[in-house]
């Protein structure tokens, strides 16, 4: 029976090739747009999910009111070491301070300007999860000049990950050596690191004249934003209780000049990317934009589904006599219903397979436009189950009208042409409503696109207010001077700057 229904469905698809091609093409493109938007939104709301203890890891947020209220992800550096002693709920705490730094490989004399270099406390590996590929995994940052490289950085500097014991010169300082190589965190981590250095080494890489100032800031600064600080709570501890006790912590440990102006709080690591605190390692996502993107993707899919439903409904009117003949020959209504639904689901399934291929092909373009590294295959099974549900729902919705509406009439009425199904109030109202909804969505898309285009053209046509050819960005952290910034052939630019 099932095989026979498949044969009939394929025969009807072939018989109505034009409608079938339109349905499959429109539905596949609608699904592709929706799946791409879904991949992007899913990526954005699932940051830092790869840590096994993600439910116990929190970032310490900082708020201080001076001339204005400041909300920062970075906190004064003196606070981190005191948290474990003061709060029994906290199992471990670690500070991270990020900057760029000049790196030289002595054995090849190769020089690099490395971004995303983090100075971290030795117990950073207790708070976060690192996948160690080479070297020691037991507190690798205990040594004063130890270096932990990501596998990507190891390949960039040495061309291999077998680099344990290799030496590096950082900011002109010798003696740093590689002790571990770890796998780089995935793209949907709120922090990206190229290498990790001991927190105390922050003083060593500063110019000699600035070392005392840096050391004083690390030991005595209770106000300036400086380091990202993370804590690992003990199992079954309530972060709200820690937030409440921060008031007592400030009164007891803090600088008396600012006790009434400072507050601290814990933010779950999985919520960092969607939070609005300033100064995070990566730009935060705007939840309003995510809702907007999802709505646009859903409306695109809805327009495609409405096309599918309308064409299926119109085609069902032409097949009314087929229904009558099959009823006369003894076909039960349940069989006819399953036939119509099966044909719609088959069309939806073909469109689904095509949309999966289109999504795979279009994903590199999406990654290029967004600057992300979304993988098609490295997705949650829940997401693929959602894809499956979309095609199944689209097929059932499109087939439900002809399946349950057309098949309910008596065979004798259909064969006598006493039924004008296309003018039945129910069917006419449904089609008019769907077409109206489709046009409203299309008009909204067109109007929004035109407005965005005109706004962008307006921005491009306006003067910047400065000569962009005379503005450069100097990486002061690495100690580079103007002669190091420009290539030897950039004499014109160097002359302008001089």
Residue 409: predicted pLDDT: 58
**79-92 residue pLDDT tens:** 988 999 999 999 99
What element of type H or E holds 60?
A: strand 57-65
What SS3 state is found at 266?
strand
What SS3 state is found at 393?
helix
82: Cβ–Cβ under 8 A, 6 or more apart, which residues? 249, 253
To the nearest whole number, what is the mean pLDDT of the chain?
Answer: 82
What SS3 state is found at 145?
coil
Q: How many angstroms separate the CA atoms of 12 and 56, rounded? A: 57
Count CB atoms within 10 A of the CB of residue 480: 14
**47-59 residue pLDDT tens:** 999 999 999 999 9
For 377-385, the CB contacts below 8 A with 24+ separation are 379/39, 379/42, 380/42, 380/46, 383/38, 383/39, 383/42
Q: Strands of 67-127 (E only): list them.
A: 69-72, 74-75, 90-105, 110-120
Reported pTM: 0.79
Q: How many angstroms separate the CA atoms of 197 and 419, rounded? A: 81
CB 140 within 8 A of CB 216: no
**231-249 residue pLDDT tens:** 999 999 999 999 999 988 8
Q: How many angstroms separate the CA atoms of 359 and 97, rounded? A: 39
* Confidence class for position 327, pLDDT limits 50, 70, 90: low
Residue 494: predicted pLDDT: 46
Residue 205: predicted pLDDT: 86
Residue 164: predicted pLDDT: 94
Q: Please say if the pLDDT value at position 415 is more than 60.
A: no
Question: Where do the structural domains in the chain lie, given as residue ranges?
Answer: 2-46+286-443, 77-221+224-257, 468-497
**278-309 residue pLDDT tens:** 888 888 888 999 999 999 999 888 888 888 88
Count CB atoms within 10 A of the CB of residue 363: 18
Give bridge partners of residue 64 from the DSSP assignment. Answer: 70, 262
> How close are the terminal C-alpha atoms of the chain, in Å?
86
What is the CA angle 456-457-459, rounded to 5?
Answer: 65
Tell me whether strands 146-150 and 195-198 are parallel, antiparallel or unpaired: antiparallel
Residue 497: predicted pLDDT: 46
Q: Strands of 256-415 (E only): list them.
A: 262-268
């Amino acid at each position: 029976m099932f095989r026979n229904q498949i044969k009939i469905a394929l025969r009807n698809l072939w018989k109505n090739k034009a409608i079938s091609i339109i349905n499959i093409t429109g539905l596949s493109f609608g699904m592709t747009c929706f799946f791409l938007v879904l991949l992007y939104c899913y990526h954005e709301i699932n940051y830092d999910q790869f840590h096994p203890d993600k439910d116990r890891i929190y970032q310490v947020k900082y708020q201080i009111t001076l001339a204005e209220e400041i909300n920062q992800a970075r906190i004064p550096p003196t606070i981190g070491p005191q948290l474990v002693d003061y709060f029994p709920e906290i199992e471990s705490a670690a500070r991270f301070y990020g900057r760029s730094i000049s790196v030289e490989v002595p054995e090849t004399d190769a020089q690099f300007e490395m971004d995303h270099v983090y100075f971290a406390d030795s117990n950073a590996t207790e708070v976060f999860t690192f996948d160690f590929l080479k070297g020691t995994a037991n507190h690798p940052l205990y040594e004063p000049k130890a270096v932990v490289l990501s596998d990507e950085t190891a390949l960039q500097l040495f061309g291999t990950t077998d680099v344990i014991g290799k030496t590096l010169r950082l900011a002109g300082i010798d003696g740093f050596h590689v002790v571990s190589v770890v796998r780089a965190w995935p793209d949907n981590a709120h922090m990206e690191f190229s290498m990790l250095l001991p927190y105390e080494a922050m003083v060593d890489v500063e110019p000699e004249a600035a070392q005392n100032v840096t050391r004083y800031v690390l030991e005595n600064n209770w106000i300036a934003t400086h380091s990202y600080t993370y804590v690992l709570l003990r199992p079954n501890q309530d972060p709200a209780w820690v937030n409440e006790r921060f008031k007592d912590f400030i009164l007891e440990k803090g600088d008396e000049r600012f006790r009434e102006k400072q507050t601290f709080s814990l933010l779950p690591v999985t919520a960092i990317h969607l939070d609005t605190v300033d100064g995070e390692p990566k730009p935060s996502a705007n939840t309003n934009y995510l809702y907007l993107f999802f709505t646009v993707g859903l409306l695109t899919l809805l327009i495609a589904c409405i096309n599918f439903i309308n064409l299926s409904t119109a085609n069902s009117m032409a097949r009314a006599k087929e229904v009558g003949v099959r009823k006369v020959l003894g076909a039960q209504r349940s069989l006819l219903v399953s036939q119509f639904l099966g044909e719609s689901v088959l069309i939806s399934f073909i469109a689904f397979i095509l949309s999966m291929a289109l999504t795979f092909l279009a994903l590199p373009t999406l990654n290029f436009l967004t600057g992300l590294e979304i993988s098609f295959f490295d997705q949650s099974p829940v997401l693929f189950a959602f894809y499956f549900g979309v095609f199944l729902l689209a097929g059932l919705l499109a087939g439900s009208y002809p399946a349950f509406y057309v098949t309910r009439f008596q065979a004798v009425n259909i064969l006598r042409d006493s039924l004008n199904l296309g003018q039945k109030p129910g069917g006419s109202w449904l089609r008019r409503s769907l077409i109206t909804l489709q046009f409203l969505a299309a008009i909204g898309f067109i109007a929004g696109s035109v407005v965005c285009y005109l706004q962008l053209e307006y921005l491009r046509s306006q003067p910047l207010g400065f000569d962009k050819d005379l503005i450069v960005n100097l990486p002061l952290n690495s100690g580079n001077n103007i002669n190091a910034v420009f290539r030897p052939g950039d004499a014109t630019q160097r002359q302008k700057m001089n």
